[in-house]
């Protein structure tokens, strides 16, 4: 299909070189008796809808068309072509006369060129032509639009053309055409088409059309409302997956050791900076693979943050075992050190981490709703990380030991589990997950030394709400907080929404201090 249209446009181009206009038509253009005649001639040419004629018309508009006896010369910038004979002359003869045009002709030419653009070989040009027609609201172009629609293959251009046709038909004097226009416009329920319908309401005299207009506006409203709700849900989902990524690692270390790692946000930051370093490396040494640098960045971010997490466990958390409040303070100190070290290496300013090309843009899910690819990627990534963590915890020996230590440290140790090593590995795992999250976050936000600070309160709220060490609780809490935040935002603004959510959590903790999924049985006594 596409190949066929490409071939067709190649043929069109070839014919353009030979000029599609007959010598008679050319002479009428070159020596019209009046501006009115010239306009008529232009309209005839345009009505034929042959994009090959656009070059001649553009030449006329830009003052590059000259007459000399029987010859009609087009200055093609460098070469001059006689359109009648098709011969090329090197230089413009001195006695050639420029074909002059007035404003009326100029307007007609501009309109005509826009209409001919509908038949241009490239889809983007056709789209641009269709959009400009939509803005002009010129009813005389209707037959051309219909012809363009008949041959148009590109779905996006076709959609725009339909809405142009609808818009133009809506101004038609015949009620039946206006009714069909409403039908056409309803196929694409956007705010733009809604505006067209609303504007038509007051000048409308026909009773049936009035009813159709009212019903149509309602239908568009419903569809827009649906798009908005889906947009919110999507926004909440994407925020929720960010929260989940930030909180997953924390949930493991907090659940396992009962300590709060205030430097968790800085592990995210380290992951994001690792991504930056990998990107810089690719730019310098592997520019060809730049679009896939993220694939290399994710494991490196994991390792860097896991290493930092393990250092943290060895030097800060382990020596303070059994003193959670002091661990909190000491890890805060560690977070200050991390921030300051990163500042020392990379500077205090944000660094630039670019989206790979396949992550920019978005998919149009429904009229009035575009889902950006980078947000979709974050959601998919969060789900993938969640699956990996779940498999690790539930299906591997390490996971089994981690869960055993989490449930009862003393007995696990008594049965020969090396609890210090489990702690260390779990801390490295939690750090590594934070690193992966940092790699993901670098794709949707700024990367700077203070990146982690913004997440610390939020991710703790997720962990506290979900229940410590509960994977399911963490997931539901993250998704729920994301949704609630996004639902409140349109009413209260981002800041008040955040405050409301914090207030809600504080109240919620009153009711269920152990979180959504409280551990039962023996574990509950210890908590």
Residues that bind other proteins (CB under 8 A): 258-260, 262, 315-316, 319-320, 322-330, 332-337, 339-340, 344, 453, 456-457, 460-461, 464, 495-496, 498-499, 502-503, 505-507, 509-511, 513, 526
187-201 residues labelled b (16+ CB within 10 A) or e (exposed): ebbbeebbebbeebe
What minimum distance in Å lies between the beta carbon of 463 and other proteins?
9
Distance CA(93)–CA(86), nearest Å, equals 16
CA 203 to chain centre: 39
DSSP helix/strand/coil, 364: strand
Non-local (6+) Cβ contacts of 356 within 8 A are 290, 291, 292, 293, 294
Tokens of 345: 């290496």
What minimum distance in Å lies between the beta carbon of 255 and other proteins?
12
Q: Which is nearer to other proteins, 368 or 452 (CB)?
A: 452
Q: Which is nearer to other proteins, 16 or 500 (CB)?
A: 500
Q: Which is nearer to other proteins, 140 or 526 (CB)?
A: 526
What minimum distance in Å lies between the beta carbon of 410 and other proteins?
11
Distance CA(426)–CA(253), nearest Å, equals 7
Non-local (6+) Cβ contacts of 102 within 8 A are 35
Q: Which is nearer to other proteins, 185 or 247 (CB)?
A: 247
> Cβ distance 80 to 91 under 8 Å?
yes
Q: Which is nearer to other proteins, 201 or 503 (CB)?
A: 503
Q: Which is nearer to other proteins, 325 or 472 (CB)?
A: 325
Q: ∠425-279-268 over CA atoms, to 5°?
A: 35
User: What does residue 66 show for φ and ψ, rounded to 5 degrees?
Assistant: -125, 150
What minimum distance in Å lies between the beta carbon of 330 and other proteins?
4
What minimum distance in Å lies between the beta carbon of 129 and other proteins?
46
Helices (H) and strands (E) in the chain, counts: 21, 7
What minimum distance in Å lies between the beta carbon of 320 and other proteins?
6
Q: Which is nearer to other proteins, 76 or 526 (CB)?
A: 526
Distance CA(429)–CA(399), nearest Å, equals 11
Distance CA(466)–CA(480), nearest Å, equals 10
Q: Which is nearer to other proteins, 166 or 452 (CB)?
A: 452
- Alpha-carbon distance values, 438 to 268, 339, 466, 511 (Å): 4, 14, 21, 33
> Cβ distance 302 to 420 under 8 Å?
no
What minimum distance in Å lies between the beta carbon of 524 and other proteins?
13
Beta-ladder partners of 67: 72, 97
What minimum distance in Å lies between the beta carbon of 511 and other proteins?
8
Q: Which is nearer to other proteins, 69 or 319 (CB)?
A: 319
What minimum distance in Å lies between the beta carbon of 482 and other proteins?
17
Q: Which is nearer to other proteins, 333 or 490 (CB)?
A: 333
Tokens of 496: 């008040």
What minimum distance in Å lies between the beta carbon of 117 and other proteins?
48
User: Taking the alpha carbons of 98, 101, 107, 108 in that order, is the dihedral positive or negative?
Assistant: negative
Tokens of 161: 């053309």
């Amino acid at each position: 299909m596409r190949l066929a249209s490409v071939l067709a446009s190649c043929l069109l181009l070839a014919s353009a070189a030979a000029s599609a206009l007959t010598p008679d038509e050319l002479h009428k253009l070159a020596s019209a008796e009046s501006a009115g005649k010239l306009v008529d001639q232009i309209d005839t040419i345009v009505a034929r809808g042959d994009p090959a004629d656009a070059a001649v018309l553009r030449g006329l508009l830009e003052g590059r068309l000259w007459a000399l006896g029987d010859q009609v010369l087009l200055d093609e910038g460098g070469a001059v072509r006689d359109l009648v004979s098709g011969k090329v002359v090197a230089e413009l003869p001195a006695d050639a006369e420029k074909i002059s045009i007035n404003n009326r002709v100029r307007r007609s030419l501009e309109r005509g060129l826009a209409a001919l653009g509908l038949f241009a070989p490239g889809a983007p040009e056709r789209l641009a032509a269709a959009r400009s027609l939509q803005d002009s609201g010129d009813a005389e172009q209707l037959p051309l639009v219909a012809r363009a629609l008949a041959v148009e293959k590109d779905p996006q251009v076709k959609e725009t053309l339909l809405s142009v046709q609808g818009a133009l038909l809506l101004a038609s004097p015949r009620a039946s055409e206006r009714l069909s226009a409403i039908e056409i416009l309803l196929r694409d329920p956007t705010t733009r088409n809604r505006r067209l319908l609303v504007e038509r309401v007051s000048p409308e005299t026909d009773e049936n059309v009035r009813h159709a207009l009212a019903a149509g506006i309602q239908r568009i409203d419903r569809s827009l409302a649906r798009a908005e709700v889906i947009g919110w849900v999507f926004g909440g989902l994407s925020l929720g997956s960010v929260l989940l990524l930030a909180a997953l690692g924390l949930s493991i270390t907090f659940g396992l050791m009962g300590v709060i790692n205030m430097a968790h946000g800085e592990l995210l930051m380290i992951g994001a900076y690792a991504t930056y370093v990998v990107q810089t490396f690719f730019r310098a040494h592997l520019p060809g693979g730049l679009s896939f640098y993220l694939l290399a960045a994710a494991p490196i971010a994991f390792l860097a943050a896991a290493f930092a997490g393990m250092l943290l466990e060895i030097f800060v958390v382990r020596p303070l075992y059994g003193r959670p409040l002091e661990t909190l303070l000491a890890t805060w100190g560690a977070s200050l050190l991390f921030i300051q070290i990163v500042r020392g290496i990379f500077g205090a300013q944000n660094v630039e981490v670019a989206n790979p090309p396949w992550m920019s843009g978005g998919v149009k899910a429904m009229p009035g709703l575009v889902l950006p690819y980078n947000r979709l990627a974050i959601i998919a990534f969060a789900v993938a990380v969640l699956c990996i963590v779940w498999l690790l915890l539930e299906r591997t020996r390490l996971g089994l030991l981690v869960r055993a230590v989490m449930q009862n440290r003393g007995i696990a140790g008594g049965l020969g589990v090396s609890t210090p090593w489990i702690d260390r590995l779990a801390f490295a795992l939690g750090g590594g997950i934070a690193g992966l999250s940092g790699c993901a976050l670098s794709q949707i936000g700024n990367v700077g030394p203070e990146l982690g600070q913004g997440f610390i309160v939020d991710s703790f709220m997720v962990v506290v709400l979900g229940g410590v060490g509960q994977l399911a609780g963490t997931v539901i809490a993250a998704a729920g907080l994301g949704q609630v935040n996004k639902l409140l935002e349109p009413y209260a603004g981002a800041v008040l929404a955040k405050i409301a959510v914090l207030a809600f959590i504080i109240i919620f903790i009153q009711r269920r201090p152990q979180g959504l999924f409280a551990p039962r049985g023996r574990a509950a006594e210890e908590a």
